[in-house]
Amino acid sequence: MRAEGTEFRTSVNVGVDIEADELLAEHAVVVLAGGATAWRDLPIPGRELAGIHQAMEYLPLSNRVQEGDLAETPITAEGKRVVIIGGGDTGADCLGTALRQGATSVHQFEILARPPDLRDPATPWPTWPLMLRTSSAHEEGCERVFAVNTECFLGDADGNVSALRAHEVQSVVVDGRPTFEKIDGTDFELDCELVLLAMGFLGPERAGLLEGLGVELDGRGNVARDDNFQTSVPNVFVCGDMGRGQSLIVWAIAEGRSCAAAADHWLMGESALPSPIMPTAAPIR
């Protein structure tokens, strides 16, 4: 709800162009739905070389080209040997994009071991099945490399990435915690001119908006909330990945509806809006 007499704004960086205090002063309720965009990095030797990018630096530019907002992307896989580090959905998006841009070759690295082709007996229905998943992007062509860890990036004389050095790993338990151990004699180098980091996310970005609002965070670094999607600041609500953590869009849609109903009830004392899930709802694992 916008306070009477305030100006409607578009294309702003909330928390920078509009500070948190101003946002709270102009609105009766604020709903945080900014996603979990703080990406996981790979701080190894050579990370500073040109040609190494986060997936979410690469993918939005390509989307803007498709929408006609950009004539061409400054980060392209055309004519390049590409390595994608990370085996999840974001990595698959990078794969499909790189192939369409005309990559010479694409390797996708995953530190976990290769899952079985069929459902593992340890994950019976209705739990989420442990098995190899092949996306439509993988069907178009890719070298998938499992149980591998990248040690460092190598560069040319101009400061561009030209290769990486890696080795195979095996999963072990040390002091009761799972970790990965190098397998001796498995070192290798792989030539590449473009590396895309798709290793997941660490929660929402804290600088700016969240720090300005003063909302509390939970143990996983997400915005903490109660059973009504309300944060530690009474008139601030949160939904989607910003409160749940990195997840699928279907969860964000359901949470958005439930959060809207909660905010409506807080404002009006009642609500006829649908509220399909609770903040604690989770997929069966």
Asked whether residue 184 is assigned to any structural domain, the reply reads yes
Per-residue pLDDT band for 186 (boundaries 50, 70, 90) equals very high
Q: Which two tokens stand for residue 145?
A: 């490399």
Alpha-carbon separation of residue 34 from 8, 180, 210, 217, 222 (angstroms): 19, 33, 10, 15, 11
Q: Please write down the long-range contacts of 179-184, taking CB distance under 8 Å and 24 or more positions apart.
A: 180/111, 180/149, 182/149
Of the candidates 230, 150, 171, 164, which has an alpha carbon nearest to the alpha carbon of residue 194?
164
Residue 158 inside a domain? The answer is yes
In a domain, 185, yes or no: yes
Query: Does 90 map to a domain?
Result: yes
What is the structure's pLDDT at 11?
62
- The answer to whether residue 99 sits within a structural domain is yes
The yes-or-no verdict on residue 159 having pLDDT over 90 is yes
pLDDT given for residue 110 in this prediction: 96
Q: What is the pLDDT of residue 194?
A: 98
- pLDDT exceeding 90 applies to what percent of the chain? 73
| CATH code of residue 97 | 3.50.50.60
User: Rounded to whole angstroms, how far apart are CA atoms 152 and 97?
Assistant: 25
Asked whether residue 58 carries a pLDDT value surpassing 90, the answer given is yes
Domain presence at residue 232: no
**pLDDT in the model for residue 157:** 97
pLDDT at 6 over 80: no
pLDDT, position 7: 55
Q: Is 188 a member of any domain?
A: yes
Mean pLDDT across the chain? 92
Mean pLDDT, range 118-142, rounded to an integer: 88
Residue 2: pLDDT band by 50, 70, 90 thresholds?
A: very low
Residue 122 reports pLDDT greater than 80: yes
Tokens of 89: 């959905």
Strand partners, 120: none
Domain residue limits at 165: 52-118+130-197
- pLDDT, residue 285, reads 64
Residue 102: inside a domain, yes or no?
Answer: yes
- Domain count across the chain: 1
Average pLDDT for residues 80-93, to the nearest whole number? 94
Q: Does residue 9 register a pLDDT over 70?
A: no
Q: Give the helix/strand (H/E) hosting 253.
A: helix 249-268
Percentages of the chain per state (helix, strand, coil), in multiples of 5? 25, 25, 50
